[in-house]
């Protein structure tokens, strides 16, 4: 569930009746947790959006072009907080940065969403089985990288078989 910050004027979302402050629960009965869910599920031509507005649950039907944007804007790009590395590696280059630099220099990024969307480096050691299942379901392009890693989860063999089916 993510909160809509604003709706673009004359957009598909505005025409359908969505408003700032609405809480987007699902698209075509798929829960929306963040930008990956949202971007993945809005590619369909026919959308059913379940929204929480005040005490009411509302459903909006939208017909659109396959990759047309809806015109919804959210608080942050990820629609969620960034995921940080939980490892405590003694050789971590972030920990070796000098003191007194800007805060972003010390952020230990390990967010698979940013890796997919922007090419950020991640260690892959902080992915849960649910994260890996989602990567497989969405057929995210960096899954080919996963097939070469052994032992990151019980899904390693699944990743290899699914990545061979990717275009």
DSSP character for 13?
A: H
Collect all residues with Cβ–Cβ distance below 8 Å to 133 and sequence separation of at least 6.
155
CATH number of the CATH domain containing 70: 2.30.42.10
pLDDT digits (tens, 9 = 90+) for 59-82: 999 999 988 999 999 988 888 888
Last residue of a domain, one of 57, 74, 91: 74
Range of the domain at 62: 2-74
pLDDT digits (tens, 9 = 90+) for 101-157: 999 888 888 888 877 777 777 777 888 898 888 888 888 765 444 443 333 344 434
Q: Is residue 111 part of a domain?
A: yes
Residue-level pLDDT at 159: 43
The residue with greater pLDDT, 153 or 95, is 95
Q: Is residue 91 part of a domain?
A: no
H-run or E-run covering 50: strand 46-53
Give percent of the chain above pLDDT 90: 41
Collect all residues with Cβ–Cβ distance below 8 Å to 150 and sequence separation of at least 6.
156
Tokens of 152: 């990151």
Identify whether residues 12 and 67 lie together within a single domain: yes
Identify whether residues 108 and 48 lie together within a single domain: no
Using 50, 70 and 90 to split pLDDT, how confident is the model at 86?
A: confident
pTM reported for the whole predicted model: 0.71
The number of folded domains in the chain is 2
Q: Which of 130, 127, 134, 117 is nearest to 149 (CA)?
A: 127
Residue-level pLDDT at 141: 66
Range ranked top by mean pLDDT from 45-59, 79-93, 114-128: 45-59
What is the C-alpha separation between 124 and 121, in angstroms, rounded?
9
């Amino acid at each position: 569930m993510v909160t809509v910050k604003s709706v673009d004027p004359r957009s598909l979302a505005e025409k359908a009746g969505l408003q700032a402050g609405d809480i987007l629960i699902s698209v075509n009965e798929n829960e929306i947790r963040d930008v990956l869910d949202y971007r993945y599920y809005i590619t369909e031509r026919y959308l059913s959006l379940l929204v929480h507005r005040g005490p009411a649950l509302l459903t909006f039907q939208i017909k659109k072009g396959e990759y047309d944007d809806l015109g919804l804007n959210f608080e942050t790009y990820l629609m969620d907080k960034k995921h940080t590395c939980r490892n405590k590696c003694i050789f971590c280059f972030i920990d070796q940065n000098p003191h007194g630099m800007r805060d972003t220099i010390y952020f230990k990024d390990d967010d698979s969403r940013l890796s997919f969307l922007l090419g950020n480096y991640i260690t892959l050691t902080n992915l849960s089985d649910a994260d890996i299942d989602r990567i497989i379901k969405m057929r995210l392009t960096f899954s080919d990288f996963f097939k070469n890693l052994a032992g990151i989860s019980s899904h390693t063999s699944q990743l290899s078989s699914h990545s061979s089916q990717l275009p």
